[in-house]
Structure 1
């Protein structure tokens, strides 16, 4: 007889394989054309295994989004901790060190863009997706605020800065992914982020 610990471990492994399989299927087929059967075939499981973990493809995607968000916040935290002894001169120096912690992934972009379009047609999903984006911003912006404090800048409205930076990220992602080898679009992404951070922060009268 299996112990509860083994069952829990096996269930976690099943969810992990389903999530990985779904990402591949969504990226290849498109979210709207993907089916539970395709995900199960890719993962090597039955429909029963799928439905014992997720009620629908929508729920699976949201679990995927949550995992991705956690990875993003962890990356931000790791980058922030690594800058503890780094000299920061200005807004650009802060932005140039934090942007790499928010990677642009072609596969994830294709999948998330399609699901966002799907969510826009579903009020319930739209609310969930909005809440999750706010959660990411709420978790990530404090690291940026702390780094800006080290160069003598304050952020009067962190929530507004978070929304603005999400807009910068989403707006420049397409250009950067379409022309990954064009340094100009990447430089412009950094320039735009610097301008936005500068606009949403104020000088405090000197470094602390």
Structure 2
């Protein structure tokens, strides 16, 4: 008879489940990027990860749920990187430097860009999924903006409407990311991306009165 109260067994089972889930997420990331969301099947992801369909469905109910889990994970990693810039020892002298700091924490990822744009198109055909994406994007923006506001305050500027600035920054990010990926070797394109972010930051903020 196998003992069910072996010391450490629950912890090991939890680690195994977490490892299985992560391997499925990693396999799905590569499959979505290479083959596209519409052409990727549960079986393909399981083959890449080395698991059966049972392992998939014990962790996710659908490919959409898997994608949302992937998005949540990558968003958490993004926020962790951005929050590192709140280190009080980091000296930020002007708004351009604040923008450059933030952009260095938000890399233009070719694979992730392909995945998210295809999934956005999919969500536009699915009202429930679209509402979920809007809610998650709002949560990400609400978490990012306090960091941006704090960085700008260090440069002597305040943000009257963080929500409006957040939407403008996301619009610029999405548009310029496309240009950067289409012309990856053009330094002028990336410089223009920084300039556009700076214009938005200056347009949606104002000097702090002495």
Q: How many residues align?
A: 204
TM-score w.r.t. structure 1 length?
0.95
Corresponding residue number in structure 2 for 1:46: 52
Per-residue CA deviations over 1:94-113 (Å, capped at 9, x if unaligned) read: 11121111111101111111
Equivalent in 94, 97, 101 of residue 101 of structure 2: 97
Q: Aligned pair 1:114/2:112, yes or no? A: no
User: How far apart, CA to CA, are the structure 1 residues paired with 2:90 and 2:23?
Assistant: 39
What residue number does 1:71 align with?
A: 77
TM-score (norm 2): 0.94
Cα shift at 1:4: 1.6
Residue segments in structure 1 that go unaligned for 5+ positions in a row: none
CA 1:52 to 1:86, structure 2 compared with 1: closer, same or farther past 3 Å? closer
Equivalence map 1:127-146=2 (5 Å): 127-146=131-150
Q: Is the 8 A contact 2:86 2:150 kept in 1?
A: no
1:6 maps to what in 2? 12
In structure 1, distance between residues paired with 2:20 and 2:155: 47
The 4+ residue runs of structure 1 with deviation greater than 3 A are none
Render the CA deviation track for 1:155-174: whole Å, top value 9, x for unaligned. Answer: 11111111111111111111
Match of 1:15 in 2: 21
Alpha-carbon shift at residue 147 of structure 1 (Å): 1.2
The equivalent of 1:30 in structure 2 is 36
Aligned counterparts of 2:59 and 2:154: Cα–Cα separation in 1: 45
The answer for unaligned runs of 5 or more in structure 2 is: none
